[in-house]
Amino acid sequence: MSTNDIAQTIREKALWMRRRAFTMVFDARLGHPGGDFSAIDIIATLYFGVMRYDPKKPEMAERDRFIMSKGHATGALYTGLCAAGYFPEDWLNTYMQPQSKLNGHPNRNYLPGVETNTGPLGHGVPVALGIAIAGQLTNADYRTFVLTGDGELQEGSNWEAAMTAGNRKLGKLTLIVDRNRLQQGMGTEETNGLDPLDDKFRAFGWDVEMVDGHDVDALLTALSEPAGGRTKPLCIIANTIKGKGVSFMENIASWHHGVPNAEQHTTALEELI
């Protein structure tokens, strides 16, 4: 398959994920659609253009690992796992329902493809660090990817992990920052400024690339770069738009955990075509 064909497949999957995730939130009356939509293009690119995995063998030793550190954005993660073939689509209809395998936060005991439980912010990057160290110690070939929210980087555990990753020169570790600049209630820079974020990671011994987090071609280029010769961990700062793809959601902090009414649900699906 050509690069253009791969990119088109990713765009089609991402569109399906947005439509499905928004309906899941609408039906459940719960969710975090703003952060789902800023992350979906990244997740679709990983699953349909970059990572090595087999949904029929979710524990395959040589699989690439993906950690969803911003664990509240389950609409993005679950639709991605479903589209990748880890479980049937009708499971999505149970999102956040009693006894559902699709909790508000991902649980590896319930769902194949979930590498670790996340939700409490600041946990995913340290777990990804440990997985990457294990691979380094055993000379394993897998890559470890972790997606974090920018607001989540206010947690100090991330920076302890970043310092250790740089010190150990974990070239097969890639951290993607969903840089939508909004968190619950207000902007990240109003809460606890992160800029210059790129310089911070470079100071901790990381290579850094900045991309448009909704440009599939740019994401493919940044994420597909061979890690074998890399001597530093890679931080990709993906500049994104919270609520990307739906006009009344974009760059609105209240859609961090907003729930659409019937009219908004209809309008969003009309826009997502």
Tens digits of residue pLDDT in 46-55: 999 999 999 9
Cβ atoms 41, 70 nearer than 8 A:
no
Q: What is the pLDDT of residue 229?
A: 78
pLDDT: which is higher, 133 or 227: 133
Name, in order, each residue with C-beta under 8 angstroms of 32's C-beta and a sequence gap of 6 or more: 25, 72, 73, 74, 75, 256, 257
Mean pLDDT throughout 117-131? Answer: 96
Mean pLDDT throughout 111-129? Answer: 96
Percent of the chain predicted with pLDDT > 90 = 93
Q: What is the pLDDT of residue 185?
A: 83
Mean pLDDT throughout 220-225? Answer: 92
Query: Which range is least confidently modeled, 24-38, 80-94, 105-119, 222-236?
Result: 222-236
Q: How confident is the model at residue 13 (pLDDT cuts 50, 70, 90)?
A: very high
Q: What is the pLDDT of residue 110?
A: 95
| 226/64 Cα distance (integer angstroms) | 13
Give the residue among 87, 164, 167, 80 at the shortest CA–CA distance from 128. Answer: 164
How many folded domains does the chain comprise? 1
Amino acid at position 3, single letter: T
Helix (H, G, I), strand (E, B) or coil at 257: coil
Mean pLDDT throughout 201-213? Answer: 98
Neighbours of 232 (CB within 10 A): 19
Helix (H, G, I), strand (E, B) or coil at 97: coil
Q: Output the six-digit token pair for 17.
A: 């994920």
Ordered DSSP codes for 156-188: HHHHHHHHHHHHHT-TTEEEEEEE-SB-SSSBH
Buried/exposed code over 162-196 (b: 16+ C-beta within 10 A; e: otherwise)? bebbbebebbbbbbbbbbbbbbeeeebeeeeebee
What CATH number did the domain enclosing 253 receive?
3.40.50.970
| 162/204 Cα distance (integer angstroms) | 6
Name, in order, each residue with C-beta under 8 angstroms of 239's C-beta and a sequence gap of 6 or more: 179, 210, 211, 212, 213
Q: How confident is the model at residue 163 (pLDDT cuts 50, 70, 90)?
A: very high
Neighbours of 214 (CB within 10 A): 20
Residue range(s) defining the domain that contains residue 164: 3-271
Cβ atoms 16, 83 nearer than 8 A:
yes
Q: What is the pLDDT of residue 228?
A: 67
Q: What is the pLDDT of residue 225?
A: 78
Kindly tell me if the per-residue pLDDT of 227 is higher than 80: no
Mean pLDDT throughout 231-254? Answer: 97
Angle separating helix axes 216-224 and 3-28, nearest 10 degrees: 110
Q: How confident is the model at residue 216 (pLDDT cuts 50, 70, 90)?
A: very high
Kindly tell me if the per-residue pLDDT of 8 is higher than 90: yes
Name, in order, each residue with C-beta under 8 angstroms of 240's C-beta and a sequence gap of 6 or more: 38, 39, 41, 42, 178, 179, 180, 213, 214
